[in-house]
Amino acid sequence: MLPREHSWSWLTVTVGMLLGVRPSACGDLSGARPNILLLMADDFGIGDIGCYGNNSIRTPNIDRLAEDGVMLTQHVAAASVCTPSRAAFLTGRYPLRSGMVSSNGYRVLQWTGVSGGLPTNETTFAKILKDKGYATGLIGKWHLGLNCESSNDHCHHPLNHGFDHFYGMPFSMMGDCIHWELSEKRAGMEHKLNVCFQIMAFTALTLTTGKLTHLTSGSWTPVIWSTIAAILLFMTSYFMGVLIVHADCFLMRNHTITEQPMHFQRTTSLILKEASSFVQRNKHRPFLLFVSLLHVHIPLVTTKQFLGKSQHGLYGDNVEEMDWLVGEILKAVDVNGLKNMTFTYFTSDHGGHLEARDERGQLGGWNGIFRGGKGMGGWEGGIRVPGIFRWPGVLPAGQMIHEPTSLMDVFPTVVQLGGGNVPQDRVIDGRSLVPLLQGAAEHSAHEFLFHYCGKYLHAARWHEQDRGRLWKVHYMTPQFHPKGAGACYGRGLCPCSGDGVTQHSPPLLFDLSRDPSEAEPLSPGSEPRYHAVIALVGEAVDQHRKTLSPVPPQFSLSNIIWKPWLQPCCGTFPLCACGQDEVPSET
């Protein structure tokens, strides 16, 4: 017998909403709470999905989710790169509040062996739901740090942040997880090491020649040391590729490394098996499963079944494989009879990566009509993402909502559905989406949203609800490559500050309700309320700044440099290697 009945869950939640109380306040309704399935894609552009208007890429499973549920058209990430966006998603707070933003060029964690990460005193929705009796699982990418002081203290590990089951990559997919693809990071470092090697080799050679020809006097010590240094530099540069693959591209189950380095052709099926068996194992109790997909980040590892099948090259193939994976995970929910008791969400951590392309073509996503992309805190293309919610029988089907909402809103939303309370001892920036999704509220609870790039406020939006206008004010914008409209080709990502950024005084003003592509900045001549709108948004920014307080920076230099003693390694360091993971059985 199932301990939960769908009609019961529907009734109690609805009654709870009508009475304005949380489900947990109406006596013992622990049986009424939905399962929560959160699906997040990586670097996935809003222009790459059928239901958001793409007619040539096939995403039938995501489209079906939207047909059966509610689609948000103005769903916005709190940051335009992985680490800070995910920190905000899990905590419901702007990433600046947890120190998960950079003030130097490094905007995401660059290695697993660094000490930066999501601070232990931050509260994730998983932690709250776990306390409320939910089985909580994270499958896929983490990218929010791992260790603080040793290679296995796991202070930032998902199991230390409210998840009781973890399977996936503590780090992230990246170009050089596959040997043939040099990431910017590795290419830059190899170049520096090679220059150092050449200088050292030249020094050693000159000193040796001097000694042998008796042109220089003194001891052999400098000759020996410079030769050793040259050999070490050569070895480091030579083995770096191997080292990086082993250092960062590995899988863990809970606290144990299961595959280092990863065998990518198996990864998608391993993730699917893990997700299905999690659902199967926990079907008799409420669960929260966050599937943080490795798709569609470069290097776009795609199985043979999908290679060459889409109309959009390797990127399109990878998107179609991801859609298939989403469909299979939803199937696992269906076959266990949980569809109507599961609150499902699909999103992406930020916009598509326009600069990711090579001779094979575009390798990053497409952000539709929106300007800019990944790495740009202000322009819509970097932050506008899909947002689809399904809970059959409770949420309307086939509905579209055009109100501004944030990825941070998922925090209070799932906490409310799970019968928990949001923490009262800190600022929570997200607002529950439940009233909006159910049609009980006409407007989003956000009048203003702030758009950061690293620690810099690049832009802010104001939803003028009574007039239906959506204003966006830009204080800083990245300087685009002259030939590539809307991207910073040659730089990897656009910068947040410094030379590559233009400060606007007066700021740029757009009306997104009429100009969603941010094509025509308004002027006092074209918009009579120009000055009034800029002043009002400026006031809101000042108010927002008053709510910020300094916290330890997780991206300080000492927190982002690689420390060998923090490097997780199965086997002998530095040749970390361990075998094939057992595929979990579905019992």
- Residues assigned a catalytic role: 82, 143
Q: Which residues pair with residue 362 across a beta bridge?
A: 357
Distance CA 583, CA 38 (A): 23
CB of 368 to ligand NAG, least distance (A): 5
* Footprint (CB under 6 A) of ligand NAG, residues 191-210: none
Task: Rule CB under 6 A: choose which of 57, 62, 174, 230 binds ligand NAG.
Answer: 57
Largest interatomic CA distance in the chain: 95
3-class secondary structure, 49: coil
- Residue 366 touches ligand NAG, criterion: CB under 6 A: yes
3-state SS of the chain: helix, strand, coil percent to 5? 35, 15, 45
Residue type, 246: H
Residue list 399-458, contact with ligand NAG (CB under 6 A): 426
User: Residue type at 347?
Assistant: T
User: Do residues 435 and 441 make contact, with C-beta atoms less than 8 angstroms apart?
Assistant: yes
* Contacting residue, 18, 19, 21, 56, with ligand NAG by CB under 6 A: 56
CA distances from 513 to 107, 402, 403, 469, 470 (A): 31, 10, 11, 6, 5
Helix (H, G, I), strand (E, B) or coil at 395: strand
CB of 297 to ligand NAG, least distance (A): 14
Alpha carbon distance 427, 408 (integer Å) = 12
SS3 category, 202: helix
Number of residues that bind ligand NAG (CB under 6 A): 23
* Position among 158, 351, 368, 419 found at the interface with ligand NAG (CB under 6 A): 368
- Per CB under 6 A, does 472 bind ligand NAG? no
Q: What are phi and psi of 512, to 5 degrees?
A: -65, -25
Angle, vertex CA 135, rays to CA 131 and CA 138, nearest 5:
105
Query: Which tokens belong to 262?
Result: 């990863």
Give the 3-state secondary structure of residue 586.
coil
312 touches ligand NAG (CB under 6 A) = yes
Nearest to ligand NAG of 231, 551 (CB atom)? 551
Beta bridge partners of 40: 292, 347
Q: Interface with ligand NAG by CB under 6 A: which range of 116-124, 199-207, 258-266, 289-297?
A: 116-124
Q: Which of 4, 22, 33, 165 binds ligand NAG (CB under 6 A)?
A: 165
Phi, psi for residue 94 in degrees, rounded to 5? -55, 140
- C-beta of 164 vs 527, nearer to ligand NAG: 164
**Applying CB under 6 A, does 373 fall inside the site for ligand NAG?**
no
In this complex, which beta carbon is closest to ligand NAG, that of residue 331 or of residue 426? 426
Q: Which of 34, 95, 113, 316 binds ligand NAG (CB under 6 A)?
A: 316
> From the list 132, 253, 374, 431, which residue makes contact with ligand NAG (rule: CB under 6 A)?
253
Considering the complex, what minimum distance in angstroms separates the CB of residue 345 from ligand NAG?
22
Task: Tell me whether strands 399-401 and 70-76 are parallel, antiparallel or unpaired.
Answer: parallel
Q: Does residue 175 touch ligand NAG according to CB under 6 A?
A: no
Place of tokens 């909502």: 401
Tell me: does residue 552 bind ligand NAG (CB under 6 A): yes
Listed ranges 52-60, 189-197, 209-217, 259-267: which one lies at the site for ligand NAG (CB under 6 A)? 52-60
547 near ligand NAG, judged by CB under 6 A = no
SS (H, E, C) 262-319: CCHHHHHHHHHHHHHHHHHHCCCCCEEEEEECCCCCCCCCCCCCCCCCCCCHHHHHHH
Q: Decide: is 48 part of the binding site for ligand NAG (CB under 6 A).
A: yes
* CB closer to ligand NAG, 30 vs 254: 254
Shortest reach from residue 70's CB to ligand NAG, in Å: 22
Least distance from ligand NAG to the Cβ atom of residue 115, Å = 14
The distance of closest approach from Cβ of residue 317 to ligand NAG in the complex, given in angstroms and rounded to an integer, is: 11
Would you say 427 or 532 has its CB closer to ligand NAG?
427
The answer to whether the beta carbons of residues 445 and 434 sit under 8 Å apart is no
The two three-digit tokens of residue 365, written as one number? 């996503």
Based on the shown chain and the rule CB under 6 A, indicate whether residue 47 belongs to the binding site for ligand NAG: yes
Residue number of the CB atom closest to ligand NAG: 366
Q: Residue 166 Cβ, how far from ligand NAG at the closest point, in Å?
A: 7
State the minimum distance, in angstroms, from the CB of residue 579 to ligand NAG.
17
Q: Nearest to residue 45, comparing CAs of 296, 403, 408, 326?
A: 296
User: What is the x/- site pattern for ligand NAG, positions 117-146, by CB under 6 A?
Assistant: --x-xx------------------------
CA dist 262 and 440 (Å) reads 47
Closest to ligand NAG by CB, 205 vs 551, is 551
Question: Is 319 or 437 the residue whose CB approaches ligand NAG more closely?
Answer: 319
Binding residues for ligand NAG (CB under 6 A): 47-48, 53-57, 119, 121-122, 164-165, 253-254, 312, 315-316, 365-366, 368, 426, 551-552
